[in-house]
């Protein structure tokens, strides 16, 4: 019980069934993919409503506003990982993620592309960037992710990025569904996802090779599987909070953005 | 944007209206109590269902199981605060909170009293203590609280305990309501709350005097108000997650305890 993170480690890290023998690379990848098949947030009801066109504009707004906080934190998370890498060749590879999200110059990069989406939904950039009105559960989940990559082993930090193995599925579902369903969303406002269709598989391939090479004991493999489960929880709990606040029963917590509410700073 | 915590500080710390003049002690206390009156979790629908006797036994179980994680973290949070105090007289006072929660010996203290409640609801201690089955949102909120008291100023860390100003109200409502409504809850299993009825006001009085004496600028007063708002978010988001998972729509996230599910290790 030396820290809060340790107190609750058991619940997200190691299932009893995972403490047995060393899995071979194919079995290990299958175990990782099985986690995605049961826990990735494409299975969440909110995602199905979103890409199925069954949300109203305010519900899509709430999603884009909250998801911005996650996007804004990604390069901070990745810089935290780079800061823990002692090998320059590894740092060079992971550094590309910073370029992808922060761009080469003002007006470029993944965060900027996400802001094009929130622009199109009527939010001012000042309002979005100040993170006013976001759900506390979004903030807590996002901060948990940053703390995780800073406090756990480098292997676990890298493993927590493995949800990108499953990203192409959700992105293709989401873009097609949203374009078909919402007249307030255009191909131009969804360019964030175009880029991710090539970036995510490249990143996931590297991370998968890394964890396969470095998880050389059953215990390390269990840590990797636990890290991926943790990351699925980070994504899932964000949709839980959106669902609760804006869909069913539709009770935004005190201080959170409300449908029809302020969209400018 | 130097850290995740900083990115999102604006949303929970400083409302524009708070950047004006220095409040006198009465005004400052009134501002703190106004936060409680609008954001404390006694206003949450789940609390009303709980103390109104409108939850079934499994829903009460889910609450007690998740709330254990919060209880178990309290002395870790308080030790983190003591570790930041340079003044021995301050450390001696705050140390009492460790005694209250951890007890003088095995079988004593607030955590032990909480386990009497989970015992009575049919959970094995091993299952509860391992924190298996708790909601990820519970874990993220609880960890956010620990990180907050470690990373923010000592003034903000102390201020985040000020929800205890409002605890006597919720405890009296809860105990009376639960005893009247649930035949599976007895006075004996609720002894945790008896103790808190005297401990919380004593602790809150000290913390209120401390923040009143030390928040000597409008900006520091705003930090204190922000810390209390943050702490209300920590408590509220835990009930949001319980409500979503076990009441409406009743969708526990993957890996979480399900009604009728496992209650032993």
Task: Give me the phi and psi of B130, to 5 degrees please.
Answer: -70, -10
Q: Residue A87: is its pLDDT beyond 70?
A: yes
The end-to-end CA distance of chain A, in Å, is: 42
A89 vs chain B: nearest CA distance in angstroms?
A: 24
Yes or no, beta carbons of B130 and A11 under 8 Å apart: yes
pLDDT digit string (tens) for A169-196? 888 888 889 999 999 999 989 999 988 8
Place of tokens 């299975």: A43
pTM across the whole model: 0.90
Yes or no, beta carbons of A4 and B146 under 8 Å apart: yes
Contact A78/A97 with Cβ under 8 angstroms?
yes
Pinpoint the alpha helices (H) of B152-247. 154-159, 167-181, 191-214, 218-246
Mean of pLDDT values over B200-227: 97
Nearest Cβ partner for B11 among A39, A131, A251? A131
pLDDT of residue B18: 61
Yes or no, beta carbons of B136 and A137 under 8 Å apart: no
Burial class (CB in 10 A: 0-12, 13-18, 19+), A214: middle
Q: What DSSP state is assigned to residue A131?
A: T
Q: Is B183 in a helix, a strand, or coil?
A: coil
More confident residue, A261 or A255: A255
Q: Which residue of B has its CA nearest to A126?
A: B10
* A237/B136 Cα distance (integer angstroms): 7
Residue B155: which of B98, B216, B245 has the closest Cα?
Answer: B216
CA angle B123–B129–B134, rounded 5-degree value: 75
B250 vs chain A: nearest CA distance in angstroms?
A: 10
Q: Residue A19: which pLDDT band, with cuts at 50, 70 and 90?
A: low
Q: CA distances (Å), A149 to each of A13, A80, A205, B51, in order?
A: 14, 7, 19, 39
Number of neighbouring beta carbons within 10 Å of residue B17? 9
Residue B234: which of B138, B169, B151, B149 has the closest Cα?
Answer: B138
pLDDT digit string (tens) for A109-168? 999 999 999 999 999 999 999 998 999 999 999 999 999 999 999 999 999 999 999 998
Residue numbers in A near B126 (CB within 8 A): none
Residue A184: which of A94, A79, A60, A92 has the closest Cα?
Answer: A60
Q: CA distances (Å), B118 to each of A53, B57, B180, in order?
A: 43, 12, 19
Residue B61: which of B134, B157, B147 has the closest Cα?
Answer: B134
| ipTM, interface predicted TM-score of the complex | 0.86
Mean of pLDDT values over B156-184: 92
Number of neighbouring beta carbons within 10 Å of residue A24? 10
- Cα A6 to its chain centre, rounded Å, is 23
pLDDT digit string (tens) for B75-129? 999 999 999 999 999 999 999 999 999 999 999 999 999 999 999 999 999 999 9
* B208/A49 Cα distance (integer angstroms): 46
pLDDT of residue B264: 85
* A36/A72 Cα distance (integer angstroms): 24
Which domains, from first to last, does chain B contain?
21-246 (1.20.910.10)
Q: What DSSP state is assigned to residue B15?
A: -
* B66/B118 Cα distance (integer angstroms): 10
Yes or no, beta carbons of A5 and B135 under 8 Å apart: no
Contact A136/B233 with Cβ under 8 angstroms?
yes
Q: CA distances (Å), B201 to each of B192, B197, B206, in order?
A: 15, 7, 9
Mean of pLDDT values over A89-95: 97
Yes or no, beta carbons of B241 and A237 under 8 Å apart: yes
| DSSP string across B33-94 | HHHHHHHSGGGSHHHHHHHTT-S-HHHHHHHHHHHHHHHHHHHHHHHHHHTT---HHHHHHH
């Amino acid at each position: 019980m030396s820290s809060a993170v340790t107190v609750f480690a058991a619940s997200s890290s190691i299932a009893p069934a995972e403490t047995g023998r060393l899995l071979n690379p194919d079995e290990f990848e299958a175990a990782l993919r099985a986690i995605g098949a049961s826990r990735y947030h494409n299975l969440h009801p909110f995602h199905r409503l979103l890409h199925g066109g069954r949300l109203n504009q305010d519900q899509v707004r709430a999603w884009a506003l909250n998801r911005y906080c996650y996007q804004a934190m990604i390069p901070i998370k990745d810089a935290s990982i780079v800061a823990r890498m002692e090998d320059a060749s590894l740092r060079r590879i992971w550094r590309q993620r910073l370029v992808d999200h922060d761009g080469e110059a003002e007006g470029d990069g993944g965060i900027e592309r996400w802001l094009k989406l929130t622009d199109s939904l009527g939010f001012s950039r000042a309002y979005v960037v100040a993170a006013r009105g976001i759900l506390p559960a979004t903030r807590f989940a996002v901060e948990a992710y940053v703390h995780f990559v800073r406090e756990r082993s480098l292997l676990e930090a890298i493993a927590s990025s493995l949800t990108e193995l499953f990203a192409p599925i959700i992105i293709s579902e989401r873009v097609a569904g949203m374009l078909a369903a919402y007249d307030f969303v255009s191909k131009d406002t969804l360019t964030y996802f175009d880029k991710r269709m090539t970036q995510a598989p490249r990143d996931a391939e590297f991370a998968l090779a890394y964890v396969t090479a470095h998880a050389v004991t059953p215990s390390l493999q269990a840590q990797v599987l636990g890290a991926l489960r943790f990351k699925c929880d980070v994504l899932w709990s964000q949709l839980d909070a959106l669902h609760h606040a804006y869909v069913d029963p539709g009770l935004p917590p005190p201080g959170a953005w409300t449908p029809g509410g302020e969209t400018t700073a």
